[in-house]
Amino acid sequence: MKKWGLFLLVLVFALTGCASGSADKGEALPEDKLLIGVTAGPHEQIFEKVKEVAEKDGLEIELKVFNEYVMPNVALSEKELDANSFQTEPYLDTFKKDRKLDIVEVFDTVTFPLGIYSNKIKSIDDIKEGDKLGIQNDPINLARALNLYEKAGLIKLKKGAGMEATQKDIVENKKNVKFVELEASQIPRQLDELTAATINTNFAIEHGLKPKKDSLFIEGDDSPHVNLVAVRGENKNDKVLKKLEKAYRSKEVKDFIENEFDGAVLPSW
């Protein structure tokens, strides 16, 4: 009996160990179908075109559309998605560090220049003493917005603040403007209550704004904030992602972006 007990104990340990090892490696993504999270607006529109191209190569893509920047990464981490497409590398780096998530970049996609918009004024010069200006409340977009307001000549930031800038880094604010921090997707809805606000291009387009035409001030083509497709770390080398990248970075998709968005969205390839 003792021998049988020892044998069973060793067998259970071996099976448990094997199971544990397999779980650590994770499951590979299916090679013919992907569920991808995108934000509403341009990311969704672009991926509808990617779907068409990928289908010709035997890859079926299903989209899940989000209206904010938190849940796409949470859902990906919890294996409710196979990949997502909505964020820049600085945003991803900060998000996964704060939440201790294993999410990684697969390839670059497009750039959405951040712009300053208003329903009340026609020029940055029309901003008056004490006016309220909207900015995003997540750390990366907040820093990006403050840097844009600095480029527009409204404020000066502490030297070296860069992409870690907060309102505490404002060292000069001659018009004493008040910055109101809001969730990025809500800013277009709050624009009437503000003199002006920074709005991410995907949300601007979703609300009928034309970045090149309607913005008071906008980032240039040299913006470092390139968007990306992300997956869980365990899947970063899966074969299907090469097929996805081929479809996304195709001539058909590039032509669609350039024709559809008239310079408001810039392909990275």
User: Distance (Å, rounded) from C-alpha 68 to C-alpha 70?
Assistant: 6
Q: 196-199 and 103-111 as β-strands: parallel, antiparallel, unpaired?
A: unpaired
Helices 42-56 and 251-261 pack at an angle, to 10 degrees, of: 150
For residue 210, how many C-alpha atoms fall within 13 Å in the half-sphere facing its CB?
A: 6
107 and 246 Cβ atoms separated by less than 8 Å = no
Residue 262 backbone zone (phi > 0: left; psi -120 to 50: alpha; other: beta): left
The segments of the chain whose pLDDT lies below 70 read 1-25
Rg, C-alpha atoms of the chain: 23
The reported pLDDT for the residue numbered 262 is 85
Q: What is the pLDDT of residue 188?
A: 97
Q: How many CA atoms lie within 13 A of 119 on its CB side?
A: 14
Question: What pLDDT was estimated at residue 263?
Answer: 83
Query: Are the beta carbons of 82 and 187 closer than 8 angstroms?
Result: no
Q: What is the pLDDT of residue 13?
A: 41
pTM (2 d.p.): 0.75
What pLDDT was estimated at residue 25?
A: 54
pLDDT of residue 223: 80
Beta strands in 4-99 (DSSP E): 33-39, 60-66, 83-88
